[in-house]
């Protein structure tokens, strides 16, 4: 009783899943992804073992279609399952068992698989496809996934209503401090309006947990260094990096204070 999109970014560097449902904590059951391997959504009468199995098949070199075939061959409950998979090269596959509750179905395109069950109608997955294809390929994958998910929600989504949503994106060294591959891992487990709440969390994720691009980095000159030191002292901190750590901006300020993100600099100057 869920709708989802599984996709690879146009640059071939990120893989992810966006999902929403009238189901508690859908993010705990449906999505899984590994950088340089692929991503999967398992739903309907979800077989959560599909996540580890599919990623293992993909890691061994299977395409999305072959990985899906192996999952279904080994599962007597396949007629009740729905699954979408995207592999390392952007190959996509989707399956909707004939016993899934109406409306149920899915589609694939270049680098994406979209699927849903107990939907308001086929127009939900078509709206998601159109939104995905309308977004600029260079946008961060999380934002493209969320736009597609929101379009499905606007088109009626899960016909039972709304409860939860989740967003998972992986990319090499995209995690906190560059020490893992989790670029985005956000869940709205129980909310009257899960999609707007997920969008709010993604904005916070971009600020606190996403590394600055080169274009966002402002070199710290001696004059700016003095400005930042004076600011930190006025805020009651021993130095500016202590303020950075207190405010959780470590991903957007250089450890040696050689640069500061333009967003953080704007926050400093607005205070």
pLDDT tens column, 65-86: 999 999 999 999 999 999 999 9
Mean pLDDT within 109-125: 97
Nearest to 26 by CA among 152, 191, 245, 271: 191
Higher pLDDT, 257 or 178: 257
Examine the pLDDT at 100 and tell me if it is beyond 90: yes
Alpha helices in the chain (DSSP H): 49-59, 64-73, 123-134, 141-154, 194-208, 222-234, 240-247, 262-270
CB neighbour burial string for 232-266, b if at least 16 within 10 angstroms, e if fewer: beeeebeebbebbeebebbbbbbeebebbbeebbe
Residues composing the chain = 271
Residue 264: band (very low, low, confident or very high) from pLDDT cuts 50, 70, 90: very high
Which pLDDT value is given to residue 177? 85
User: Which residue has 């590394």 as its token pair?
Assistant: 211
Q: What are phi and psi of 223, to 5 degrees?
A: -65, -45
- Which phi and psi (to 5°) does residue 94 adopt? -140, 150
The residues with which 167 forms a beta bridge, in sequence order, are 18, 186
Half-sphere exposure of 230 (CA within 13 A, CB side): 8
The structure tokens listed for 264 are: 């953080």
The CA distance from 264 to 241, in Å, is 12
| Predicted pLDDT of residue 134 | 97
Question: Residue 141 burial by CB count (10 A; 0-12/13-18/19+): exposed, middle or buried?
Answer: buried
pTM here is: 0.94
Can you tell me the mean pLDDT for 169-182?
A: 93
First to last CA, the chain: 46
Mean pLDDT of all residues in the chain?
A: 97
Rounded Cα distance between 64 and 57, Å, is 9
Q: Look at residue 19 and tell me whether its pLDDT is greater than 90.
A: yes
Tokens of 45: 């009468």
pLDDT tens-place string over residues 135-156:
999 999 999 999 999 999 999 9
| pLDDT at residue 1 is higher than 80 | no
């Amino acid at each position: 009783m869920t709708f989802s999109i599984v996709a690879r970014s146009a640059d071939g560097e990120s893989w992810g899943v966006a999902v929403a449902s009238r189901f508690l904590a859908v993010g705990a059951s449906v999505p899984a992804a590994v950088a340089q391997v692929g991503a999967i959504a398992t739903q309907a009468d979800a077989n959560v073992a599909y996540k580890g199995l599919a990623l293992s098949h993909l890691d061994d070199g299977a395409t999305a279609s072959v990985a899906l075939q192996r999952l279904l061959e080994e599962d007597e409950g396949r007629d009740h399952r729905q699954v979408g998979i995207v592999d390392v090269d952007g190959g996509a596959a989707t399956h909707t068992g004939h016993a899934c509750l109406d409306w149920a179905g899915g589609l694939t395109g270049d680098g994406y698989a979209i699927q849903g069950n107990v939907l308001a109608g086929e127009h939900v997955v078509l709206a998601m496809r159109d939104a995905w294809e309308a977004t600029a390929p260079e946008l961060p994958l999380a934002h493209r996934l969320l736009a597609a998910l929101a379009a499905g929600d606007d088109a009626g989504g899960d016909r039972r209503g709304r409860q939860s949503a989740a967003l998972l994106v992986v990319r090499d060294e995209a995690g906190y401090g560059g020490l893992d591959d989790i670029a985005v891992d956000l869940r709205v487990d129980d909310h009257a309006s899960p999609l707007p709440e997920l969008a709010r969390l993604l904005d916070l994720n971009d600020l606190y947990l996403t590394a600055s691009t080169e274009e966002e980095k402002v070199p710290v000159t001696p004059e700016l260094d003095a400005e930042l030191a004076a600011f930190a002292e006025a805020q009651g901190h021993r130095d500016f990096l202590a303020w950075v750590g207190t405010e959780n901006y470590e991903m957007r300020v250089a450890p040696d204070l050689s640069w500061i993100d333009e967003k953080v600099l704007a926050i400093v100057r607005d205070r």
